[in-house]
Amino acid sequence: MVQPQEPHFFQPLLPGFQTYLTIPIVFFSKHIQGKANGNTWTLTSDAMDQTWQVIRRREATHPRLEGVHLRHMTFE
């Protein structure tokens, strides 16, 4: 099986995705957590010139989205 060069996850767009998108906790723990200063991360999409702050609630991580459709995202 060919491994992707960049980490990714598939997330179905469920009702409510216009305001938040749940990032799987395993993906967050492996690829995001601890790789930024402090507890703030930024989500960037190559489809738009807009960024979103990522927040963490309990066992889920959510970037705040404002009525947008995302395809490719990176975290900083």
List, for residues 17-51, the tens digit of each pLDDT value. 555 666 777 777 776 666 655 556 666 666 666 66
Query: Taking CA 20 as the corner, what is the angle to CA 48 and CA 71, rounded to the nearest 5 degrees?
Result: 35
Candidates 69, 66, 58; CA nearest to 28 is 58
- Angular region, 61: left φ>0, alpha ψ -120 to 50, beta rest: beta
Q: Work out the widest C-alpha separation in the chain, in whole angstroms.
A: 36
Report the predicted TM-score, pTM, of the whole model to 2 decimal places.
Answer: 0.42
pLDDT interval class at 59 (50, 70, 90): very low
Which residues contact residue 49 at a Cβ distance below 8 angstroms, ignoring those fewer than 6 apart? none
